[in-house]
């Protein structure tokens, strides 16, 4: 019997990438041969996101592309879009199997039973029934791994579908995370990026609301002791969960990098309240000041949404001025998009799309200025750079401890090594 082949495509966040990597290893262990997505394969798996309308469209485009290239292949859709709108996906011509949040890690079993029928098979359940935590980590390259330690969210921000797609907040145990970190270290990986949906909420067990006697601060203290891992990054942490003790610990640690990504979403307290965020801008400013007081060299990334319903020109100007005055390094700017089954969809007045796009452009320009200003502070200083393996047209890339990207002609002996580097 010929070995079956599988190809993956991932949309969305780093958490999705870590889960795709785990699904790939699961299928390889079941005898599947891994192929690139642009090659012909027996099975194609698309791990979807549904944060924006664009991600939904991209999924449909990918299915059409597969149909043109390999009409006899099976197409499996999983991820957040699959949990939120399984029926909608099942009706896409060319989709054979839809796996919701509880079923995606049983993909090997589902593929054994898969036969082409007249309609797509949906294997999904009510998100309230999703309880277990499935550990995942990415393995695409040897230098850096994304390790999932938490999933789901108990917050109900008015713009967000993630609690509907991923369920209650739940996390791994510290014991299991340490075992995974040791497993990753044994593969020669130097850097782990901790990922989750609401990372600072780490400590809730598989039963969802039940709290273990563990929290994120306990986790990072234990990870700091793992031999072989030289760098950790915290992918994203809510400002209200970024405690003073976490900031102090990172400042004192040799392994946790001076790099934070802290979602803001708006610099207007009125808009933050409408978004149902759990803090005001004053708390956010306080956290940034605390980080910078202990680590003046730290990079701070910011998530911000523009064009939220009811965001007036004055509210946007308030956000612009707040960000302009903050000692942060770069932004990820998102244009608000309406999502079904969220509270925000009924909020008025709606900001015109053209206005949303204009606001996005203004903040992206400010982000470029911020990043240039941050980077220029370190010209002629020496920092430690972890270089990646990839040879990109004769060049290689790496990041300083404080997340400044460095490029240099490729040198094989520097791959996956930490090098003292003078920034120019």
Residue 225: Cβ-neighbour burial (10 angstroms; 0-12, 13-18, 19+): exposed
Q: Is the peptide bond between 54 and the residue preceding it cis, with omega within 30 degrees of 0?
A: no
Determine contact, residues 214/173, Cβ cutoff 8 Å: yes
Contacts of 52 (CB under 8 A, 6+ apart): 334, 335, 337
Give the pLDDT of residue 141: 65
Q: Which residue has the tokens 């495509």?
A: 9
Contacts of 162 (CB under 8 A, 6+ apart): 51, 80, 153, 197
The model's confidence at residue 49, banded by pLDDT at 50, 70 and 90, is confident
pTM for this predicted structure = 0.87
Note the pLDDT tens digit of each residue in 13-46.
788 888 999 899 999 998 999 999 999 999 999 9
Give the pLDDT of residue 11: 87
The model's confidence at residue 340, banded by pLDDT at 50, 70 and 90, is confident
Give the pLDDT of residue 208: 45
Query: Three-state SS for 300?
Result: strand
CA of residue 290 relative to chain centroid, distance? 25
Contacts of 89 (CB under 8 A, 6+ apart): 59, 77, 81, 82, 95, 98, 120
Per-residue DSSP letters for 22-83?
A: HHHHHHHHTTPEEE-TTS--SEEEEEE--SSHHHHHHHHHHHHHHHHH-TTSEEEEEEHHHH
62-71, 114-123, 236-245, 337-346: least confidently modelled range: 114-123
Query: Does residue 207 register a pLDDT over 60?
Result: no
The fold of 136-375 is pyruvate-formate lyase- activating enzyme (3.80.30)
Note the pLDDT tens digit of each residue in 289-316.
999 999 999 999 999 999 999 999 999 9
50-54, 64-68, 140-144: least confidently modelled range: 50-54
Q: How far apart are CA 346 and CA 340, in angstroms?
A: 10
Determine contact, residues 296/329, Cβ cutoff 8 Å: no
> CA dihedral defined by 33, 34, 37, 40, rounded to 10 degrees?
-20
Q: Does domain 5-125 have CATH number 3.40.50.1100?
A: no
Determine contact, residues 276/305, Cβ cutoff 8 Å: no
Determine the average pLDDT of the residues in 355-380: 97
Note the pLDDT tens digit of each residue in 319-333.
999 999 999 999 999
The model's confidence at residue 406, banded by pLDDT at 50, 70 and 90, is very high
CA of residue 78 relative to chain centroid, distance? 16
Which helix (H) or strand (E) element contains residue 21? helix 14-29
Residue 155: Cβ-neighbour burial (10 angstroms; 0-12, 13-18, 19+): middle
Packing angle of the helix pair 244-252, 216-223 (nearest 10 deg) = 10
Q: How far apart are CA 62 and CA 391, in angstroms?
A: 28
Determine contact, residues 95/116, Cβ cutoff 8 Å: no
Determine the average pLDDT of the residues in 119-144: 73
Give the pLDDT of residue 55: 67
Give the pLDDT of residue 52: 62
The neighbour count for residue 238, using CB atoms within 10 Å, is 18
Phi-psi region of 276 (alpha: psi -120 to 50; beta: other; left: phi over 0): left
Phi-psi region of 21 (alpha: psi -120 to 50; beta: other; left: phi over 0): alpha
Give the pLDDT of residue 114: 63
């Amino acid at each position: 019997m010929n070995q079956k082949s599988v190809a993956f495509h991932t949309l969305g966040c780093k958490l999705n990438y870590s889960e795709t990597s785990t699904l790939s290893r699961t299928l390889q262990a079941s005898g599947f041969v891994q192929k690139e997505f642009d090659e012909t394969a027996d099975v194609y798996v698309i791990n979807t996101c549904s944060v924006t309308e664009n991600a939904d469209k991209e999924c449909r485009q990918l299915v059409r592309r597969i149909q043109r290239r390999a009409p006899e292949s099976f197409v499996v859709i999983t991820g957040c879009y699959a949990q939120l709108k399984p029926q909608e996906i099942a009706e896409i011509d060319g989709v054979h199997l839809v796996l919701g949040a509880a079923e995606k890690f049983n993909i090997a079993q589902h593929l054994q039973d898969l036969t082409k029928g007249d309609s797509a098979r949906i294997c999904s359940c009510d998100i309230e029934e999703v309880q277990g935590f499935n550990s995942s980590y990415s393995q695409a390259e040897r230098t850096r791994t994304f390790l999932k330690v938490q999933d789901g969210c108990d917050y109900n921000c008015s713009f967000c579908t993630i609690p509907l797609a991923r369920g209650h907040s739940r996390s791994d145990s510290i014991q299991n995370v340490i075992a995974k970190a040791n497993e990753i270290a044994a593969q020669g990986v130097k850097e782990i990026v901790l990922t989750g949906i609401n990372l600072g909420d780490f400590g809730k067990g598989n039963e969802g609301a039940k709290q273990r006697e563990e929290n994120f601060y306990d986790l990072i203290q234990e990870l700091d002791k793992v031999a072989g891992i030289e760098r950790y990054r915290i992918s994203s942490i809510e400002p209200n969960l970024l405690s003073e003790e976490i900031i102090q610990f990172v400042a004192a640690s040799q392994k946790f990098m001076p790099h934070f990504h802290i979602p803001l979403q708006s610099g207007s307290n009125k808009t933050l309240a409408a978004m149902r965020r759990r803090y005001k801008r004053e708390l956010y400013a306080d956290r940034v000041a605390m980080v910078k007081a202990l680590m003046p060299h730290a990079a701070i990334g910011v998530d911000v949404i523009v064009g939220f319903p009811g965001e007036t020109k004055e509210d946007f100007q308030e956000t612009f001025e707040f960000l302009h005055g903050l000692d942060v390094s770069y932004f990820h700017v998102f244009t608000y998009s309406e999502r079904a089954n969220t509270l925000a969809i009924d909020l008025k007045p709606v900001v015109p799309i053209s206005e949303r796009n204009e606001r996005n452009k203004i903040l992206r320009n400010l982000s470029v200025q911020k990043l240039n200003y941050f980077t220029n502070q370190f010209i002629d200083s020496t920092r430690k750079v972890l270089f990646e393996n990839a040879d990109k047209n004769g060049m290689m890339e790496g990041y300083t401890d404080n997340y400044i990207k460095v490029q240099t002609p490729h040198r094989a002996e520097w791959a996956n090594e930490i090098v003292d580097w003078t920034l120019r």
